[in-house]
Amino acid sequence: MKSSRLAIAILIVTGLAAASCAGPKETALISNSTIPAAESSVKVGTNENGNTTFDLTVKHLALPQRVDPQATVYVVWLRGSDTALRSQNMGALKVDDNLNGSYSGVTPLREFELFVTAEASATGTSPSGPALLHTNVSAK
C-alpha cells in the first residue's frame, strides 16, 4: 500500500516536472525609466528546425514620437553573446491605438539580448537610441 502511494507520488511529481519544462518560457522585459507604464514579456521556444522562436508582447507602450520626437517606430533588436557582432534589426514593433503591440521572430541564436529602441526608421542597421525594453534570453 505504501509503495503504491509512493509510486503514484513519484509519477505525479515527474509528470509535473516534465510539463513545466515543456513549452515556451516567458520572461518579463525591463523597462527604461522613459516608459515607466510599459509592461512587456517574451515567450521563447524552439521550432522544428532547432531555431529559437520568440513572441514579444507589450502593453501601455507610449507612441514612439512621445519618447523621442524624431522617432516614428519601435524596432526590435537582437545582440548575440559575441560582442564583435553588431546588433540585428529584427523589424518594427507595431503599437495599436490602445498602446499594445506584439512581434514574433525566429533566430538561430540560442542566447541573446533582446531589446527595443525608438527609431526614426524601421530599416536602421544599428540602434540610434537607448534600449527602452530589454532582457537576456537563453533557449537552452
pLDDT digits (tens, 9 = 90+) for 123-134: 999 999 999 999
Which pTM was predicted?
0.81
Region 106-115: what's the mean pLDDT?
Answer: 96
115 has pLDDT over 90: yes
Q: Report how far residue 134's alpha carbon sits from residue 93's, in angstroms, rounded to the nearest whole number.
A: 14
Domains of the chain: 24-138 (2.60.40)
When pLDDT is cut at 50, 70 and 90, the band that residue 4 belongs to is low
Q: Report how far residue 122's alpha carbon sits from residue 92's, in angstroms, rounded to the nearest whole number.
A: 6
- Higher pLDDT among residues 13 and 46, named by residue: 46
- Per-residue buried b or exposed e for 61-100, using 16+ beta carbons within 10 Å of the residue's own CB: bbebeebbeebebbbbbbbbeeeeeebbbbbbbebeeeee
